[in-house]
Structure 1
Amino acid sequence: MSNDTTPSVMPACVEPAVDVLKNINPMKILFSLRNDSTQLGTNIDNNTQVQTSKILNLSNKKLSDQNLRRIAYSLKSNTTLIKLNLAGNNFGITGIKYLLIALQSNITLTTLDLQNNKIGDKGIQCLAEFLYDNTTLTTLNLGGNDIEDKGAYHLASAIQHNMTLKILNLQNNNIKDEGAEALAYALENNSILNTLSLGRNQINIDGIQHWANTIQNNITLIAFDIEGNGISDDGVQYLAYALESNIGLTTLNLGRNQITAEGIQFLANALETNKTLTSLNLGGNELGSNGIEILATALQYNNTLSTLYLGRNSVGIDGAQHLANLLNHNTKLVKLDLQSNEISDDGIQYLADALQNNITLKTLNLARNNIGDKGTYNLANALEHNNVK
């Protein structure tokens, strides 16, 4: 993939909206906002606060493109705004154009939440052009905007040039392998972005292979969420290989990716050498007791991983016994999530026995298992000698 040339930044997207904003009359609009020190649940009939607030929450107000035009007019006068939340409204590309012309001269905004609107790939193109020259925005939430591969491509081009954006949420956007490839390539040329969420998209083995190549060498990305895609065991193999040499990633979410015991073997091998990963989410996969045994064995002497999510993995009695063996040896794990895992009283007995000697685990989630009176008693007895909550 070749580098893009810089497009004609803002004018192509926002010029049609400029005259409208110049000529609009001030209007009184009802807002619910939160200022920098106190959360206000009060509706106000005055746009003065829109012009002066540092933190402005306009989420879930059913704002249309025309509503956003009025908001944009007021925002042009705001010189203190730091956080703007417009999530869960109803505006699309026209509304984005109004918003961007208002923010074009803004030098204070650091956080922008636009999730669950109707921006689409054309609206994202305008936003991406805005990001080329923006020097203040550090957090951008674009989840649930149906941007697809075209929108991902526009964002990827902007990410290669932007020097301030650190956190980007692209969950639930119908991004497939081609869009994932574009974003992965962009991160090879970006040393700023440290948190990226691509959860609940349609990224499969080909897409994750490109990401594995990026993760292998990237030292800036510290949190990567790829939950709810189609990675499968083959995709995990690529990621595991990358983790063996990665020295930056600390948080990885692989939940709901059809990973079985076969795939977890690749990951277990990587965890024996990886020295930076501290949080791993494998919830909602298909590990079963065999996969749990493989993972538990690999983690017995791991000295970095402190948080492990294993909910909804059919752990059962045998899996609980393997996890008990892990807790008998591991001295780093602080949080363990085992919710919805068909663990009965017999499985709880194994865990309770291990907890009597484990002095590092602080949080254990056993919600929605098959725990009866006997299991409850054994847990209570173990917790008399332990700090787990």
Structure 2
Amino acid sequence: MTLNLRWNQIGDIGAQYLCDALQHNTTLTTLDLQNNYIGDDRVQRLGDALRHNTTLTLLDLRYNQLGAVGAQYLGDVLQHDRTLTTLNLAVNRIGHVGAQYLADGLRYNNTLITLNLRHNQIGNVGAQHLNNALRCNRTLTTLHLQYNQLGNIGAQYLSNSLRNNTTLTTLHLEANQIGKVGAQHLAGGLRHNATLMTLNLRWNQIGDIGAQYLCDALQHNTTLTTLDLRHNDIGDVGAQHLGDVLQHNITLTTLSIDENPED
């Protein structure tokens, strides 16, 4: 059963009534609350409701007003919840502190498959917290971290995740200013990773040098099937490196390099 309340401006009061109902509901599996002006206080009530609910598998809280406090409540939920498989928190304001709370929840969670933290200003510190969680978590397969100001340091933390995590198959890092240094870090992780299948690095200014680092990794990686490098300032030199690696790599099936400059 699905309940779609997106773009309804239900606010905190409406969310309170909804939380009361959730505590006793035994059929709802999908709840879409995106863009409803829901703040941290109502997320606390929602967290309390989810402690009693045993059927909800997808919770969508995109485009709300969640901060670190709200993330703390949801992190507590993740530690105990046994049904939620998808949590979408895109375009909120959880920051690196909120990322830490969620990471703490992921350490103990064994049901969540997809986590979307796009556009949440978690920064490289938030990436560090998530890296620590991914060392322990064995169920998460898809992680969205687009537009989070990770930089090359954040990419370094996530490269450690690629070295140690054995379940993540899809990683979105679009628009994070990782640059060529960040690409080098990620390439190091890819060399030793045996599970990641999709990596999206659009809008990251990796350039020809960054492309070369990734190509070196692809000579050893045997699982990645999709790589998106659009809008990365890759010229003819980088394109040549990518062309060369495709002659030897037999697993990569989708490589997107359009919308890069022509030398």
1:27-47: per-residue Cα shift (whole Å, max 9, x none)? xxxxxxxxxxxxxxxxxxxxx
My pick for the range that moved more, 290-299 or 357-366, is 357-366
How many equivalent residue pairs? 263
The CA distance in 2 between the partners of 1:251 and 1:120, in whole Å, is 29
The 8 Å contact of residues 128 and 154 in structure 1, kept in 2 or not, is answered as yes
**Unmatched tracts of structure 2, length 5 or more:** none
Percent of aligned pairs sharing the same letter: 44
Indicate the residue corresponding to 1:367 in structure 2.
258
Indicate the residue corresponding to 1:172 in structure 2.
63
Letter in 1 for 2:7: N
User: Secondary structure, in 3 states, of the residue corresponding to 2:242?
Assistant: helix
Whether 1:276 and 2:135 are equivalent positions in the alignment is no
The CA distance in 1 between the partners of 2:196 and 2:121, in whole Å, is 25
The CA distance in 1 between the partners of 2:14 and 2:252, in whole Å, is 46
Indicate the residue corresponding to 1:55 in structure 2.
none
Whether 1:314 and 2:190 are equivalent positions in the alignment is no
Give 4+ residue runs of structure 1 displaced > 3 Å after superposition.
none
The 8 Å contact of residues 348 and 371 in structure 1, kept in 2 or not, is answered as no
The 8 Å contact of residues 215 and 246 in structure 1, kept in 2 or not, is answered as yes
Aligned-pair CA distance for 1:232: 0.6
Aligned-pair CA distance for 1:151: 2.1
Indicate the residue corresponding to 1:232 in structure 2.
123
How large is the Cα RMSD of the aligned pairs? 1.1
1:227-279: per-residue Cα shift (whole Å, max 9, x none)? 10111111111110111111111111111110011122122112211111111
Normalising by structure 2, report the TM-score. Answer: 0.97
The 8 Å contact of residues 244 and 271 in structure 1, kept in 2 or not, is answered as no
Higher RCO (CA 8 Å, separation ≥ 6 residues): 2
Q: How does 1:60-139 map to 2 (within 5 A)?
A: 110-139=1-30
Letter in 1 for 2:65: N
The CA distance in 2 between the partners of 1:233 and 1:200, in whole Å, is 17
Q: Specify the structure having the higher radius of gyration (Cα).
A: 1
Letter in 1 for 2:132: Y
Match of 1:325 among 199, 203, 216: 216
The CA distance in 1 between the partners of 2:42 and 2:75, in whole Å, is 14
**Unmatched tracts of structure 1, length 5 or more:** 1-109, 373-389
The 8 Å contact of residues 34 and 60 in structure 2, kept in 1 or not, is answered as yes
The CA distance in 2 between the partners of 1:117 and 1:284, in whole Å, is 30
Letter in 2 for 1:144: N
Aligned-pair CA distance for 1:371: 3.8
The 8 Å contact of residues 338 and 365 in structure 1, kept in 2 or not, is answered as yes
